[in-house]
């Protein structure tokens, strides 16, 4: 049976009321209801007791959430939809930490100043806080810590896709440039027992690195990819270039080109923007501008970056995720 089209006014109302959806999802998560329900169904009164909420108010709240596809209500009984399951913090691929981040003041304030970015082409975050996000996160760990945790969550989501899509070498040294807490590098080294690794990132990031059982095959190096990158046979930049404008991205790639050993490769994992790209890609297309002054890029734009850095793209590999793997070598 075909679903009736949503009236134009209702579509416009839903878009205009997006702030309420964000707050509702955030509150739903803060109350711990996804973790209370899990795969079960409960009455709204039982849920209210479990999360210490006002029962009639919570029922009204759950009815609203049912209309935006987060829960299903059958009388007084409530259960999570597939969308609601993504808010369970204990499940792989959970959106819970990302939702927490998006609702925090720095992200909300940056988007409140979207007009500034559109009028100037500059990041709103810098205008609001008078410093770039990396310095801000270091000075404000209440934001920096959950941000890095969310980056680790994204690495967990992307690591499997990258491992399935790219044929990593059996031997040599891999450097994860801007590798955060090291989950992606750890996953690769676990799959390739003869490889050695270098985790490279800012000092306040790598101090919380977790390399598990591959720590004996992995060096942790503090530094900036705008200065000097450790030499390796394979360099990985996952979700790095989209943080930066073209000049900065070229500078990073030039430092990568200088660090590649003879016959080595660079792997960039990022989204591609095209007319066929989905809403996730286009959200980050704007989000990177507002937050960092960066951007998602088209194939042609990536080719220009790599060429300017003295590199040549050798293949672009779909991963079955929103990101692709771009392999490059020196020209």
Tens of pLDDT, residues 128-184 = 999 999 899 889 989 988 888 888 787 777 788 888 899 999 999 999 999 988 999
Domains 8-89 and 104-330 are alike in CATH topology: no
Number of H helices, E strands in the chain: 17, 10
Does the pLDDT value for residue 94 go beyond 60? yes
Q: What pLDDT is attached to residue 121?
A: 94
Please report, for the chain, the start and end positions of each structural domain, with discontinuous segments joined by +: 8-89, 104-330
Nearest of 194, 100, 188 to residue 142 by alpha carbon: 100
Q: Are 242 and 284 in contact (CB under 8 A)?
A: yes
Q: What pLDDT is attached to residue 277?
A: 83
Does the pLDDT value for residue 304 go beyond 90? yes
Q: How far apart are CA 121 and CA 201, in angstroms?
A: 27
DSSP reduced 3-state for 100: helix
Task: Report the CATH fold assignment for 104-330.
Answer: Rossmann fold (3.40.50)
Per the rule left: phi > 0, alpha: psi between -120 and 50, beta: everything else, 52 is left
Q: What does pLDDT average to over the chain?
A: 93
Nearest of 304, 309, 302, 306 to residue 324 by alpha carbon: 302
Write down the H helix ranges in 192-245: 203-206
User: CATH code for 8-89?
Assistant: 1.10.10.10
Tens of pLDDT, residues 186-230 = 999 999 999 999 999 999 889 889 999 999 999 999 999 999 999
Please indicate whether residue 54 is annotated as part of the active site: no
Q: Are 299 and 306 in contact (CB under 8 A)?
A: no
Q: How far apart are CA 79 and CA 85, in angstroms?
A: 10
């Amino acid at each position: 049976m075909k679903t009736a089209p949503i009236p134009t006014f209702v579509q416009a109302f839903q878009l205009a009321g997006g702030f309420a959806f964000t707050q509702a999802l955030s509150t739903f998560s803060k109350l711990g209801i996804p973790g209370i329900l899990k795969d079960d169904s409960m009455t709204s009164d039982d849920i209210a007791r479990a999360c210490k909420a006002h029962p009639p108010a919570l029922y009204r709240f759950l009815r609203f959430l049912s209309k935006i596809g987060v829960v299903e209500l059958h009388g007084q009984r409530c259960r999570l939809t597939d969308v609601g399951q993504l808010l369970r913090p204990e499940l792989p691929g959970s959106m819970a930490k990302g939702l927490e981040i998006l609702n925090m003041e720095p992200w909300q304030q940056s988007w409140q100043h979207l007009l500034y970015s559109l009028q100037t082409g500059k990041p709103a975050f810098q205008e609001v806080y008078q410093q770039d996000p990396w310095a801000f996160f270091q000075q404000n760990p209440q934001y920096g810590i959950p941000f890095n945790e969310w980056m680790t969550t994204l690495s967990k989501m992307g690591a499997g896709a990258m491992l399935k899509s790219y044929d990593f070498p059996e031997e040599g040294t891999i450097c994860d440039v801007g590798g955060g807490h090291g989950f992606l590098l750890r996953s690769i080294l676990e799959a390739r027992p003869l490889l050695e690794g270098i985790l490279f990132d800012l000092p306040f990031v790598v101090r919380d690195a977790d390399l598990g059982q591959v720590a004996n095959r992995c060096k942790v190096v503090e530094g900036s990819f705008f200065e000097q990158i450790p030499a390796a046979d394979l360099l990985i930049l996952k979700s790095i270039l989209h943080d930066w404008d073209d000049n900065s991205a070229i500078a990073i790639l030039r430092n990568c080109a200088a660090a590649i050993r003879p016959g080595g490769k660079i792997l960039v994992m990022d989204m591609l923007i095209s007319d066929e790209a989905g809403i996730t890609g286009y959200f980050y297309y704007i989000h990177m501008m507002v937050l960092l002054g960066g951007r998602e890029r088209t194939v042609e734009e990536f080719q220009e970056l790599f060429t300017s850095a003295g590199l040549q793209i050798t293949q672009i590999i779909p991963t079955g995720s929103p990101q692709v793997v771009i392999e490059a070598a020196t020209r």
